[in-house]
Structure 1
Amino acid sequence: MNKEDRRYAAYVQILREELVPAMGCTEPIAIAYAGAKAREVLGNLPDRVDIGVSDNIVKNVKSVVVPNTNGMKGIEASVVSGIVAGRAEKILEVISEVSEKQKEDMKKFKKDVPVNVSVLDNEIVFDIIVILYYRDESVKVRISDYHTNIVYVEKNGEVLVDLENADQETVKDECLEENGLMDKRLLNVKDIIDFADSCEIDDVRKVLDMQIYYNTQISEEGILGDYGANIGSTYFRYYGNDVRNRAIAKAAAGSDARMSGCELPVIINSGSGNQGITVSIPVIEYAKELSVSKETLYRALVISNLIAVHLKTGIGRLSAYCGAVSAGCAAGCGIAYLQGGGYDEIAHTLVNSLAIVSGIICDGAKPSCAGKIASSVEAGIVGYHMYKNGQEFKSGDGIVTKGVEATIKNVGRLGREGMRQTDKEIVKMMLEGKAECL
């Protein structure tokens, strides 16, 4: 791909937008970010807090430990952490620097200050509204569409930021270009491979070096520590230490740690740390095994990251479709590239793996995400090995249809439209008798 091609600049920008650091599960951190921003505008610790969130935010916040809070969970804990200790300028690392005193202050604030949580009844999948009160003053901050997208800020009735009405269709339909971000509809598998083959490494080196370093750290921590259900270390104990198992186990281990409050940052993909870990660690492990050059690893990570983003574009940031599936299948594509694969190998790997694991549900962020990651990475590897063995799932086999892009479109339709009611039922199940999770 020629550097003057508009797609070249777009693909570089997509990587820079999507591969950013975050500490902790990104939905609780988005709440913390909203809380920190609101407190910054208010200028004081509030004496009352109201927070409204969409169903999918509830689903992805209730069961994960918020880092740097001494083990607190839930929506209330997330917003309190941002209000008391957050630094809004650090965005998704908003609570990465918290003192022991601030942790105690969080506990006291949570006990002494009323925090009223409600579920927003609208059609926006990703929506957070935080309102802080101090005496006769108030501040309202709203984040919609994606984790850092502040669309509205109001103080004492004066509107400071208003992007809510700028493009309502963007907010309600994430298949369209997201407000303020590069249009991901420019992505397709053929062009992604062309870009990976031809891009100047210096244009992608910085974000990929951070991904390699951060995500390897949390993966190793997940193996060494005692986190969640210890899916990663279970794989090592029972299934051996070959490269295939290392790729699966280490990706799962990163999620083990992250879902259970590990205070190490990750480089995310498509708004998710789990997806960022899943799309990178298996490729890194195979690169070590194959002794490929650092440049080849970079190019394989470009493949896996951009294919994961491409898959998620039609599904949306949050849905009932597990994002680990997209990331694990994309990792299989990166692994195929490391072994000399071109368009045919990568396209067949992707279709084969999607046929195996599409439909795994997302029932929120929690320890079992690591198990879903393990299954998805395994499917990505099997999808590649099927192709090498002369096997494939063919058009008409379920949702598989002719051509990789058409199959990707079907997967997007499944995740976004077909599983919409599933999403609602999942949230209902999670909330029945579980009001304390808020």
Structure 2
Amino acid sequence: MSITQEQYFTYVSILKRELVPALGCTEPIAIAYAAAKAREILGDFPDKIVAECSGNIIKNAKGVIVPTTKNLKGIEAASIIGAVGGDPTRGLEVLSNVKEDDVEETRRLLEQNICETKILESPAKLHIIIKMYKGNNYSLVETIHTHTGIVRVEKNGEVLLDVPHDVEAEEDSDINYDLLNVEDIVEFANIVDISEVEEVLAKQIEYNTAIAKEGLRRPYGANVGATLLEVYGDDIKVRAKAMPAAGSDARMSGCELPVVINSGSGNQGMTASLPVVEYGRKLDCSDEKIYRALCISNLIAIYQKSGIGRLSAYCGAVSAAAGAGAGITYLYGGDLGQISQTITNTLANVSGIICDGAKSSCAAKIASSVDAAIVATMMSLRGKAFAPGDGIVKDNIQGTVDGVVRLAKEGMRETDDVVLKIMVEK
């Protein structure tokens, strides 16, 4: 066995940390969570809310419906509904208990303009500071790097929580994500005791399948998933694209069903899982085989995103789809070389897709990315591959992934700024 005991338990821990339920798009949910916590600390309902958010939070919260609000969008709506009806003990399911009266109160408070938003000038891509005021009292909650990563809490000048953190770092973590690599991920998937990961993977299948089916049943967003099935039929290649796209259709339009996320993103959680599930069922694979394939798909997605960061100008559907392609290749009996080549083939094709925030077109980007992953799978299973020197392709999978990380973090830094400027222009 090449994988060490440390790696084994780290990989199990990563899956349990990353594959958690979330209700709605995670950026407005992160705002609502911080607001719910700030309201709890204040101990009274505020007269004024100030929400300071980094550019990438603004980009991803601007155009998506806040779940449970029917049709409200934006940072102000997320902040107010979090204060009105949010339960901070529920984490990324903070809005699970919101009632109709809470939504109506949020509409009223939006009209009163009690919430002010500001761009937070921060090197951190994911950074939120919520301040609430009631008379002479105030509270402050600061979140950085992760959607529920509260690092500072204040009330009336007293610091109640101050977690040491590096604002320049992508993420502070007690888990060593540097232990992830393709060879050991595949080895882990082959040997893992399924009982140690079954709970999180079964929930991922259940939740993500449910919202995808909801997205096919009802008109959400641009109905990308339903359109694919209507136009191209019920072939497995179409279903593998349509299911995560339909889940995104529903999720971006405020559907109140939860998803199990990957790398902080519901869209990435659905992209990494649902194509694998569809192929697993088509190929009559056992539940155990599907779980092992999901270990590969999820960890490959996390492996890439741990270098890129949770938020960037690089569309996360690409890294998630590359993971899904790796999982599908495994279901077909592909070996390590073929799995690695599937990842490379996917990244060589669609690494240029930009992230311009959370909104209905995410579903189409998911479909395009999964399509590229399926092409990559079929190529690798037939011994066909993009060669080293073909653009960003290197002579090994680690080199190719490292190059994509550089592309996303360094090459697309200015792209990120330009995308945000375009989005906020009137």
Bin the TM-score by the shorter chain.
Answer: over 0.9
SS at match of 1:423: helix
Q: Does 1:400 align with 2:393?
A: yes
CA distance in 1, matches of 2:79, 2:402: 36
Look up the SS of the partner of 1:40 in the other structure: helix
Q: Indicate if the aligned counterparts of 2:36 and 2:83 stay in contact, CA closer than 8 A.
A: yes
Out of 235, 239, 249, the residue aligned to residue 228 of structure 2 is 235
Equivalent residues in 2 for 1:245-260, closer than 5 Å: 245-260=238-253
Q: Please, which of 291, 297, 313 is the counterpart of residue 304 of structure 1?
A: 297
Partner of 1:57: 57
Q: Distance in 2 between matches of 1:224 and 1:212?
A: 18
Q: Cα–Cα, structure 1 residues 146 and 390, in superposed 2: closer, same or farther, change >3 Å?
A: same
- Tell me the equivalent position of 1:128: 128
Cα pair 2:31 2:78 within 8 Å, conserved: yes
Q: Is the 8 Å Cα contact of residues 151 and 165 (structure 2) preserved in structure 1?
A: no
Whether the 8 Å CA contact 1:24–1:261 is kept in 2: the answer is: yes
AA aligned opposite 2:33: Y
CA contact (8 A) 2:301 2:319 kept: yes
C-alpha contact 1:49 1:113 (8 A) present in aligned 2: no
Equivalent position of 1:172 in the other structure: 168
Deviation at 1:107, TM superposition (A): 1.4
**2:355 aligned to 333, 344, 362, which one?**
362
What residue is the counterpart of 1:419 in the other structure? 412
Quote the Cα distance in structure 1 between the aligned partners of 2:114 and 2:377. 53
Q: CA deviation at 1:3?
A: 8.9
Aligned partner of 1:109 in structure 2 is 109
One of 300, 305, 314 as aligned partner of 1:321: 314
- Deviates most, 138-147 or 103-112: 103-112
Q: CA deviation at 1:259?
A: 0.4
- Asked whether the 8 Å contact 1:47–1:113 carries over to 2, the reply is no
Cα offset, 1:151, TM superposition? 0.6
**1:317-338 C-alpha deviation (Å, 9 max, x unpaired):** 1000000000111101000011
C-alpha contact (below 8 Å) 2:3/2:187 kept by paired residues: no
Match of 1:378 in 2: 371
TM-score when normalising by structure 2? 0.98
Moved more, 200-209 or 95-104: 95-104
Question: Helix, strand or coil: the match of 2:353?
Answer: coil
Query: Which amino acid is 1:264 matched to?
Result: L
> What is the alpha-carbon distance in structure 2 between the residues aligned to residue 160 and residue 309 of structure 1?
33
In 1, Cα distance between equivalents of 2:357 and 2:205: 26
**Aligned letter for 2:169?**
D
Aligned to 1:46: 46
RMSD: 1.1
Q: Which residue of 2 aligns with 1:22?
A: 22
- Whether 1:350 aligns to 2:343 is yes
Match of 1:436 in 2: none
- Indicate the SS of the match to 2:356: coil
Distance in 2 (alpha carbons) for counterparts of 1:306 and 1:294: 18
The partner residue of 2:328 within 310, 314, 335 is: 335
Q: How far, CA to CA, are the matches of 1:340 and 1:327 in structure 2?
A: 20
- Cα pair 1:3 1:9 within 8 Å, conserved: no
The question of 1:431 aligning with 2:418 is answered no
Mapped contact 1:22–1:265 kept (Cα < 8 A): yes
Task: State the SS of the aligned residue for 1:416.
Answer: helix
Runs of 4+ more than 4 Å apart: 1-4
Distance 2:244 2:4 in 1: 36
The gaps in structure 1 that reach 5 residues or longer are 434-438
DSSP 3-state at the match of 2:387: coil
Gaps of 5+ in 2: none
Separation of aligned partners in 2, 1:158 and 1:281: 47
Q: Tell me, what secondary structure is at the counterpart of 1:214?
A: helix
Provide the C-alpha distance between the structure 1 equivalents of 2:147 and 2:381, rounded to a whole number of angstroms: 39
Letter in 2 for 1:397: D
TM-score, structure 1 length as denominator? 0.96
* Partner Cα distance (2:91, 2:3) in 1: 31
Partner AA of 2:294 in structure 1? L
Contact 1:229-1:256 within 8 A present in 2 as well:
yes
Q: Aligned partners of 1:4, 1:422: CA distance in 2, in Å?
A: 39
Q: After superposition, give the CA deviation of every residue in 1:373-392 in whole Å (9 maximum; x if it has no partner).
A: 00110111100111123311
Matched, 1:388 2:381: yes
* Structure 1 position 4, deviation (Å): 6.9
* CA deviation after TM superposition for structure 1 residue 122, in Å: 2.2
Partner residue in 1 for 2:99: 99
Identity of aligned residues (%): 52
Distance 1:84 1:167 in 2: 30
The one-letter code of the counterpart of 1:250 is M
Aligned AA (1:31): I
- Aligned to 1:172, the other structure's residue is in SS state coil
2:268: which partner in 1? Answer: 275
**Which residue in the other structure is 1:226 paired with?**
219
- Counterparts of residues 135-154 of structure 1 (less than 5 Å): 135-154=135-154
Which amino acid counterpart does residue 348 of structure 1 have in structure 2? Q
For residue 50 of structure 2, give the secondary structure of its aligned residue in structure 1: strand
Instruction: Spell out, residue by residue over 1:147-171, the C-alpha distance to the aligned partner (whole angstroms, 9 max, x if none).
Output: 01001000000001112xx232xx3
Q: Which amino acid aligns with 1:338?
A: L
Aligned to 2:175, what secondary structure does the other structure show?
A: coil
